[in-house]
Every structure is written in structure tokens, then in C-alpha cells.
């Protein structure tokens, strides 16, 4: 029974990772990742680039960047992401930086609160493909109408090894979340 549950969850993680939904929404939400002195890591940059592409094609009028900072950091992930998007030509007024969240669950909850406060309810979520199902599940649990359009570039998709690692990691994290409703963000370093 346990093997069926794990195998079925892994299949679902893989299946949702392949979905690239460009249905119009109130906002595009970019899940944060590491940044170094205000410069997005390659993982984060791939997510931001995808969000920029979605914004440019009119999927949503607002991009929300989210993520706090590690001890000693000068910049939050959200601020770093906002600067990246401004540098790509997205007007500052069309970007909301939610500068909190140290894991996926806290980030999603912070975004949901900010969106509800602004009267927004639908979001296209941008992250790594393997992160999509867990992120979407958390967003829906937080009361958002959410779907995914993950990045197709960056270290998370470069090799079969990184893809397998991502699916395995997210399978465990999703099962943990569904059991406990706590986040299980395991360390991940794919050439960040």
C-alpha cells in the first residue's frame, strides 16, 4: 500500500510538472529561491524569466515576487526578484514584493493574505516543474484559485539526475505536507 501511495504521488508530481497553463489570472506569483547580494541564483533567475515571459504575453497585469532573507543577507528574495523584473522592463507599479517567507508554505500563505487583502483571488504559480503540485496544493488550501506555468530552464531541468532528484524530493515533501500541513522544504542545490 505504501509503495502504491509513494509511486502514485511521484507520478502525479511528474504529471503536474508537465502542465504549462497560461490561463489569464489576477497575478503571476514567482516563488523565491536563493539570491546573492541582490542577484538571483540561476534557479531563481529561471523562475523570474518565466514570470517575465508570462507578464509580457498578458497572462496577468501583476507579478508577485515572494521570499524573505537569510540571516546576514542585505536583500530579500522578493526584493531581488522585483529588481530583476524592473530591469527587464516590468513597471514597478505592476510588481508586488511580498518580503516574507522562509519556506514554500509560509511564502504561499503570505502571498494569499496579500492577494485577499487586495481583492485578488487567482494566480499562475511559477516555480520549478517538480515544485508545481505542492505549491498549487498549498495555494488552493490557502483559498486561491491557482494553476501552474513552471520554468522550463535552469538547473532543476538540466539533467535526468536533477529531474529525478526533484521528483523524489517533491514526492516526500508533498506527502509530508498532506499528512501534517507543515512545510517540508528539504535543502536543494542544483547549481544555484
C-alpha cell at 92: 514597478
Query: Per-residue confidence of the chain (192 residues) as pLDDT tens digits?
Result: 778 888 989 999 999 999 999 999 999 999 999 999 999 999 999 999 999 999 999 999 999 999 999 888 899 999 999 999 999 999 999 999 999 998 999 999 999 999 999 999 999 999 999 999 999 999 999 999 999 999 988 876 778 888 888 899 999 999 999 999 888 765 444 444
Cβ contact 162:189 at 8 Å: no
CATH code given to domain 20-180? 3.40.50.620
- Residue 37: strand pairing partners: none
Q: Is 54 exposed, middle or buried (0-12, 13-18, 19+ CB in 10 A)?
A: buried
Residue matched to cell numbers 530579500: 76
Per domain, the residue ranges of the chain are 20-180
Amino acid at each position: 500500500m505504501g509503495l502504491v501511495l509513494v509511486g502514485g504521488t511521484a507520478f502525479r508530481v511528474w504529471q503536474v510538472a508537465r502542465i504549462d497553463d497560461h490561463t489569464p489570472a489576477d497575478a503571476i506569483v514567482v516563488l523565491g529561491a536563493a539570491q546573492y547580494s541582490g542577484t538571483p541564483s540561476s534557479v531563481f533567475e529561471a523562475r523570474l524569466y518565466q514570470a517575465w515571459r508570462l507578464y509580457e504575453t498578458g497572462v496577468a497585469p501583476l507579478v508577485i515576487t515572494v521570499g524573505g532573507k537569510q540571516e546576514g543577507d542585505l536583500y530579500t528574495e522578493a526584493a531581488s526578484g522585483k529588481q530583476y523584473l524592473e530591469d527587464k522592463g516590468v513597471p514597478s507599479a505592476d510588481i508586488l514584493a511580498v518580503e516574507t517567507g522562509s519556506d514554500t508554505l509560509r511564502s504561499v500563505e503570505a502571498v494569499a493574505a496579500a492577494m485577499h487583502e487586495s481583492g485578488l483571488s487567482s494566480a499562475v504559480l511559477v516555480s520549478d516543474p517538480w515544485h508545481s503540485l505542492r505549491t498549487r496544493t498549498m495555494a488552493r488550501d490557502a483559498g486561491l484559485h491557482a494553476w501552474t506555468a513552471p520554468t522550463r530552464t535552469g538547473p532543476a531541468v538540466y539533467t535526468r539526475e536533477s529531474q529525478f532528484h526533484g521528483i523524489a524530493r517533491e514526492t516526500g515533501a508533498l506527502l509530508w505536507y498532506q499528512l501534517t500541513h507543515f512545510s517540508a522544504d528539504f535543502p536543494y542545490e542544483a547549481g544555484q
